[in-house]
Chain A
Amino acid sequence: DSGVTQTPKHLITATGQRVTLRCSPRSGDLSVYWYQQSLDQGLQFLIQYYNGEERAKGNILERFSAQQFPDLHSELNLSSLELGDSALYFCASSVGGTKVNEQFFGPGTRLTVL
C-alpha cells in the first residue's frame, strides 16, 4: 500500500458526460501528479500540482482539468467524454515538486466510456 488513495475504483459512464476523479496524497506529500494509462499508449503524464499550484503540464486535453485543494487532495475533471478516454487514471504523490523526488502511485481509477 503506497498511502495514496483514489476514488472511485471503477467508473462507467456514457459519451458526452462529465466525471470527477479524486486523489488523496500520502501524508506529508505536497505534490500530486495525474497520469493516464491506456492499452496502446502506456502511461502518459497529464498534470502536476505542488502545494495547491499547478507546477507542470503534460499531454492533458482541454476537456480535462484538475485542481489541488488546501487539504492537498486533488481532483481530475474529465468532460465531454469520448470513447477514447476509457483508460486507467493514476494519481501519484511526492514530498517535493522536483523531478528527482520519488513518486508513489495510487491504485488507479478505471474509467469506461460507453
Chain B
Amino acid sequence: KNQVEQSPQSLIILEGKNCTLQCNYTVSPFSNLRWYKQDTGRGPVSLTIMTFSENTKSNGRYTATLDADTKQSSLHITASQLSDSASYICVVSSQAGTALIFGKGTTLSVSS
C-alpha cells in the first residue's frame, strides 16, 4: 500500500535554531516528492519538488534531501524564524496512477 509517514508529529524549537523533519514513503514506482508549508487555516504552499534524479534542493533557508534507494526525504530548516511555525507536509506521487499521497504533516512551533 502506498504510504507516506512523517516524523516527528510535532516539534518545538527556539528561534534561530535549525531543525530537520523526516519523511519515509513506500510509494512505488516513484515519480516525485514535494514538501509543502501550510499555515493554520490557509492553503499549502510549495517549498520544493524533487524527481528521482535529484537528491538535494534548496529554497532559501529550506533544504530538502531525497534518498530514493532508502525511500527517505528530509527537510532541513536553517536559522528558524517565528514565521516558520506551520505544518510541513510531505507529498509523494507515483508513476502509476495519478493520485498524490500526502503525509499527515509535522507541526513546527518556533518560539522566541
Listed in ascending order, the chain A residues whose CB lies under 8 Å from chain B are 2, 4, 42-45, 48, 55-59, 88, 90, 92, 99-100, 102-108, 110
Contacts and interface: CB of A to CB of B under 8 A. Distances in A.
Q: Which of B32, B44, B45, B105 has the most CB of A within 10 A?
A: B44
Contacts, number: 52
Interface string B16-38: 00000000000000011000000
Contacts of B82: none
Given A43-B89, A55-B98, A99-B98, A106 B43 contact: yes
B32 A100 contact: yes
Contacts of B102: 42-45
Interface size class for chain B?
20 to 34
A92 B43 contact: yes
Nearest to A2: B43
Give the dominant DSSP class at A's interface: strand
Contact of A42 (B46, B97, B98, B103): B103
B5 to A, nearest CB: 11
Nearest to A92: B43
B74 interface: no
Given A57-B98, A107-B42, A108-B43, 11 more contacts: A2-B43, A2-B45, A42-B89, A44-B102, A58-B100, A88-B41, A99-B32, A99-B98, A99-B100, A104-B46, A108-B41
A102 B49 contact: yes
Contacts of A105: 43-45
Contacts of B45: 2, 105
B93 interface: yes
A102 B43 contact: no
5 contacts: A56-B98, A92-B43, A100-B32, A103-B46, A105-B45
